[in-house]
Amino acid sequence: MSAKDTLRSNKTAILSTLCVDQRLILNKVHEKNLITSREYNNLKSINKEDVEGHVVELLDKILNKGETTCQHFLNILQTDEDIKATFPELKLQQPKEISFPESIQEVSSNDEYVLHDNKRQKREELYQLNTRPVGLCLIINNESFCDGSMRRGTEKDAESLAQVFSWLGFRVLMCKDQTRDQMNRTLECLALPTNSTDLLEFQVQEWSGCSFVTPQQVLQHGDAFVCCILSHGKKGVVLGTDLIPLPIKHITQTFKASEQSALSGKPKVFLIQACQGGQKHKGVALKDVEADNCGTQTIPEEADILVAVATVEDYAAFRHISDGSWFVQSLCQQLKERCPK
């Protein structure tokens, strides 16, 4: 049984035990590099939570980091002398194996999915990602605005996105500091890339190795498209560097299916790191955290489109001035840990 399953099945017992000294376990996981310094400071500074709430946040963070981190955490609980001395009553029970009904069968990558009601979802019903590269990933990275404001930390987000989507087989492009009209024209060029040289006026760059360089090959779509917009925003819109809004709905409609589109019937994913309002969720405000002042996954009108926004409507999306935004950094971490390449 996996370490993650063991932690999950013992969660109640672990919670009640570790609440005796939550600072000790928090310091231990930080010392062992199971959480970053930013995560440590955030967990340490949570307000409006009792002791149990702090431990719940820590355990959930460990569980979300995947099997390797869960195994290291279990090792700490079972072998660290300070932990054993402080929590002698901590005993972990191995979860029992679960017997599934005969109607639920193991599925290999080459088999059809077998459901309990005998309905079969065939492989051809899934998106086929066969082209190499898989497709284009566009990053619009707005850092400097006409009012003199700077989105510090956005370079970290752009680099993280470039690394993970390059690893997943995409050609990653970036356009820097675009006005509302420039963003719109860039998206229109990619929606119907009949002449990719049109993008040159926007000084588009391509990720190569560990940096962005001038593209050396003609840009062509593959079997998927990803668009990442890092900017300020307001409800339902993102802002250009001229602070003029571009509606998110307009962005997705630019890529709607048509006879001319190279992306008809293909998955199109839009990842938007931008505020959707000025309200702030309850929590502690840290000095090195900024808001993308002016999402949640939404239900799209067009087919084959997924939109993920960094926050829900009316609320701010936060970004660390050196480590990047929580949304983008968490997204990249999950893709690296959970995506079969």
Q: Which residues of 281-299 are buried (b: 16+ CB within 10 A; e: fewer)?
A: eeeeeeeebbbbbbbeebe
Triad 215, 226, 245: Cα angle to 5°: 95
Q: Which of 70, 275, 294, 332 is catalytic?
A: 275
Count CB atoms within 10 A of the CB of residue 334. 14
| Separation between Cα atoms, residue 98 and residue 87, nearest integer Å | 30
To the query of whether residue 72 is one of the catalytic residues in this protein, the response is no
Triad 283, 154, 181: Cα angle to 5°: 115
236: left (phi over 0), alpha (psi -120 to 50) or beta: left
To the query of whether residue 275 is one of the catalytic residues in this protein, the response is yes
Residue 108: which residues within 8 A CB-CB, separation 6 or more? none
Residue 271 — φ and ψ, nearest 5°? Answer: -115, 120
| CA-wise closest residue to 58 among 9, 15, 13 | 15
Q: Which of 137, 232, 294, 332 is catalytic?
A: 232
| Separation between Cα atoms, residue 270 and residue 298, nearest integer Å | 10
Which residues belong to the active site?
A: 232, 275
